[in-house]
Structure 1
Amino acid sequence: MINSSFSPKKYFLLFGILFSIFSFAQKKFTIVLDAGHGGSDHGANRYYGDLGTVREKDITLSVVLKVGRMLEKNKDYKVIYTRKIDEYPSLTERTTLANRSKADLFISVHVNANTKTSPYGTETFVQGPDQNKTNLEVAKAENDVIFLDEKDREMFASYDPKSPESLIALKIQQSKYLESSLLFGSFVEENFVKRDKRFSRGVKQQNLHVLRLNAMPSVLIETGFVSNYDEAVYLASEKGQDEIAESIYQAVLSYKKALERNGSASAPREVEKPEEKPLKNDFRILLMSTPTKYTSTDPALKGLNYILPIKENGMYKYYYSTTNLASVRDNNLKTAKDAGFRNATSISFVPNQKLGVGYYRLELAVTAQKLSSNSYMLNTVKDITRTKENGKFYYTYGRFSTLEEAVKMQKTLEDKGIKNTVIEKVLK
């Protein structure tokens, strides 16, 4: 007998609730496995007569594939690989893949190296400020690969992990997924010690590009030192790779159980913000205007990078960074003021705007004595103009209708070894 009070509307409502609960229960724990380096980037490597060349990219790929196969046997996990073959995905592609997949955990596997042969052991890094100066070489080794890829050069062009502005930005976001990352890292290192009888150098915080942009708990695991012969033998062996993979796999199981005990299937996520629309104009931060010409490393610039000097009416104006996003502009302004430029202000630049009257040129050098005919600059750049004013010789080059054209030529000359040039606005 059908109960008349059980209407179709109530039925569909109940079905919807049950479906939602079932869907949540069935949601797989998504893990992105990243085999460090790859393709033309061999990573750390050493040649040993009996072993041949032991390469980081081969070890990391083998370990990651082993971890992945273990996880894929469990229906609760979804595994995404940044690479499954010998290729080089850019660091941008690796982090973008993880973020778009809404992953619950990002694991990047690497192999360590040192100029000395004695260091050995494992260590796991999570995103954060440098805690130990000895970690800087690890960061440099992993971050340097960023310059192998065009996309990475664009993405990270305005990022220097040692600059004041980067450290300020890092302080804002360093704790976002820190606790969860540290928890997983501790499981990894504990397994290396207890299961594999390895020496652990601990879980450390480090400012690493492949972790910095991830919107999820993330770790970078250094599985051992290829520069240490005994560890190189272990890392290159099937037995060693199996043990490393098993320890990482068991750490994932322990981590997921710990989250479930705390009533969360995954780490908390930030509420997605609406995409910011670009502004019509570009914005640079004017730091100061002075008759003094500074080089890019002069202390007067207070350690800030990506400075564009523009000379106008005999004054050098120093502009910091450039963006067409309001949030980035405001952050750049705050960074400049935090660095000591209290009167810094944002200036609007119309992209590709031609000067109504006048043009841009490059001031290549200002010298007290006339340059020798053997000067590298004079022999590298043709059609340089030399003038003498107030007892000094000014060497200038080119005639450009837009600032962008002048910047492009400036970079071309810098690639040829001619540095510290200044763009000059000539009004007539």
Structure 2
Amino acid sequence: MNTHKHAFNIILTVLFLIFAQLGAQKKFVIVLDAGHGGSDVGATRKYENIGLVQEKDVTLGIVLKLGRMLEKNKDYKIIYTRKIDEYPSLADRTDLANRSHADLFISVHCNASTKSTPYGTETYVQGPDQNKTNLEVAKRENDVIFLDDKDRERFASYDPTSPESLIALRIQQSKYLESSLIFGGYVEENFVKKDKRYSRGVMQKNLHVLRLNAMPSVLIETGFISNAEEAAYLASDKGQDEIAESIYDAITSYKKRIDRNQKKIVEEPKELPLKNDFRILLMSTPNKYAVGDPALKGLNYILTIKENGLYKYYYSVTNFASIKENNLKTAKDAGFRNVTAVSFIPNQDMNTGYYRLEVYTGKDKLPSSSPILKLLKDVERVKANGIFYYTYGNVKSLEAATKLQKDLEEKGITNTTIEKVYK
């Protein structure tokens, strides 16, 4: 009898743990990020009547007040990027939010201007810059990446002006942009209606602290420290309490909206890969262009294939229809208007020809001391219309040709072109 009772208790315990875990999984996870911190003080001003006002102190005060309000609600799980005067890198803030599978990321900041007259609140969501007058906001918030080695390494190679970056930004943020805009709208609406503040609106801006987040995310500029009246408000308990409460009410409204829509959400079928690869044909021309040539309009991931005397320039490769369409749009946005998607069958051998590499073209004949002639055997030379063409290799598939091209690059032979030869 005791054995049965013990087994029954174990079952109850297991069921309790399962249901407890399920309940825990339903919590709405919010990451609160108090902007700046530690050696990064952010915007700062000193006034005779209120003393020194530092952005890092104001943001921490608001976040801690907001967190205490949220922690009273058992439906929320609150995670802080910092609760003391320290500087977490932008990478750490993003990684924390992504590891936590957060449902919402809120970064709290204060604005500043070289003039003392600007005032009001702004909320930013991640996206291509839509408001050119606010470039100083992005510059100020992004400049802190140089404070941390991890940030420098992660963001150093990122060029926000390149066509690939812009389209990647659109793709990455399309899933979360609408939700971020909705939440940002609630925040700014509350600042106006509840706190009688002036709202400068919800805007899109390319900000590093939001760029890699896999959830709806906003950066709230709670007011201008450079404005004496707003600085006093931001530094006061009354001001911080009101700001925190307005953000809290915005979270509540947003959560209710999500709960209402949850029942309507139908999971989209997973996109299946296409049978063939697709590359975007940018142009066919007798002219040969090197990587980085202005004729390629800043696009990377270019595959050049010479065919029947013409150089064909292909952009990117994918076997997913949605990415193919995005690649087409990227090419058109870059300035190529008459682009088309061309199908490539993976690992298909040429039955009526072969691929080789064009390793050099020029008006001058290569000297015997040329590294190309020294490193490669069986290089073929042809002269046509006053131009010398040096070619190498004989492989059956495009994949084999690209591998051969990579092998030559490792030997120091660069700027080669794959050529398709018909028998």
Same fold? TM cut 0.5: yes
User: Contact (CA 8 Å) 1:165, 1:335: kept in 2 or not?
Assistant: no
**Deviation at residue 162 of structure 1 after TM alignment:** 2.6
Q: Percent identity?
A: 69
Preserved contact between residue 129 and residue 174 of structure 1 (Cα < 8 Å): no
What's the RMSD between the two structures over aligned residues?
4.9
What's the offset of the Cα at 1:301?
Answer: 7.5
Aligned to 1:214: 213
Deviation at 1:19, TM superposition (A): 8.4
Distance 2:38 2:64 in 1: 16
Deviation at 1:160, TM superposition (A): 2.2
Checking the alignment, whether the CA contact within 8 Å between 1:129 and 1:206 is kept in structure 2 is yes
SS state at 2:262 partner:
coil
Q: In the alignment, is residue 33 of structure 1 matched against residue 44 of structure 2?
A: no
CA distance in 1, matches of 2:222, 2:44: 13
Q: Distance in 1 between matches of 2:27 and 2:109?
A: 26
Give the 3 Å change call, closer, same or farther, for CA 174–156 of structure 1 in structure 2. Answer: same
What code does the residue aligned with 2:102 have? A
Match of 2:65 in 1: 66
Cα separation, 2, equivalents of 1:334 and 1:291:
22
Q: 1:223 matched to which residue of 2?
A: 222
Whether contact under 8 Å (2:163, 2:330) holds in the other structure is no
- Establish whether residue 205 from structure 1 lines up as the match of residue 207 from structure 2: no
Q: Deviations over 1:355-403 (max 9, x none)?
A: 9x89xxxxxxxxxxxxxxxxxxxxxxxxxxxxxxxxxxxxxxxxxxxx9
What is the SS of the residue equivalent to 1:131? Answer: coil
User: Could you tell me how far apart the structure 1 residues matched to 2:201 and 2:225 are?
Assistant: 18
Deviation at 1:53, TM superposition (A): 2.5
1:91 paired with 2:90, answer yes
Write out per-residue CA displacement over residues 161-202 of structure 1, whole angstroms, 9 at most, x where no aligned residue.
Answer: 233331121222232111211111111111111111100111
Aligned counterpart, 2:77: 78
Q: Displacement of 1:305 after TM fit? A: 9.6
| 2:161 alignment partner AA | K
Between the aligned partners of 1:272 and 1:148, the Cα distance in structure 2 is 41
- SS state of the match for residue 174, structure 1? helix
Contact map agreement 2:167 2:330 (CA 8 A) in 1: no
1:118-167 Cα shifts (integer Å, max 9, x gaps) = 11100111112222211222111111112221111221122122333311
Q: Distance in 2 between matches of 1:220 and 1:237?
A: 21
Question: 2:120 is matched by which residue type in structure 1?
Answer: G
Alpha-carbon distance, 1:46 to partner: 1.6
1:230/1:268 Cα in 2 relative to 1: closer, same or farther (>3 Å)? farther
Q: How does 1:276-315 map to 2 (within 5 A)?
A: 302=297
- 1:145-160 equivalences under 5 Å are 145-160=144-159
1:384 match: none
Partner of 1:4: none
Paired AA for residue 244 in structure 1: I
| Secondary structure of 1:189 counterpart | helix
Structure-2 separation of matches of 1:221 and 1:228: 17
Distance 2:128 2:142 in 1: 14
Could you tell me the TM-score, scaled by structure 2's length?
A: 0.62
CA spacing shift, 1:259–1:20, aligned 2, 3 Å: farther
Q: 1:292 to 1:167 in 2, by over 3 A?
A: closer
d(CA) in 2 for partners of 1:117 and 1:270? Answer: 50
Question: Contact 1:31–1:80 (CA<8 Å) still a contact in 2?
Answer: yes
Q: For 1:175, what is the secondary structure of its paired residue? A: helix
Instruction: Note the alpha carbon deviations across 1:65-104, whole angstroms, 9 max, x for none.
Output: 1111111111111000011111111111111111110111
CA distance in 1, matches of 2:186, 2:155: 31
- State the Cα distance separating 1:23 from its structure 2 match: 5.3
Distance 1:80 1:206 in 2: 24
Which structure would you say has the larger Rg?
2
Q: Distance in 2 between matches of 1:304 and 1:40?
A: 38
What's the counterpart of residue 253 of structure 2? 254
CA distance in 2, matches of 1:261, 1:96: 29
Q: How many residues are treated as equivalent by the alignment?
A: 325
* Cα distance change of structure 1 residues 222 and 142 upon mapping to structure 2, 3 Å threshold: same
- Can you give the 5+ residue segments of structure 1 that lack an aligned partner in the other structure? 1-11, 274-289, 307-325, 343-354, 359-402, 407-423
Distance 1:124 1:55, change over 3 A: same
Contact kept? 1:82, 1:97, Cα under 8 Å: yes
Whether the 8 Å CA contact 1:215–1:269 is kept in 2: the answer is no
* Map of 2:388 onto structure 1: none
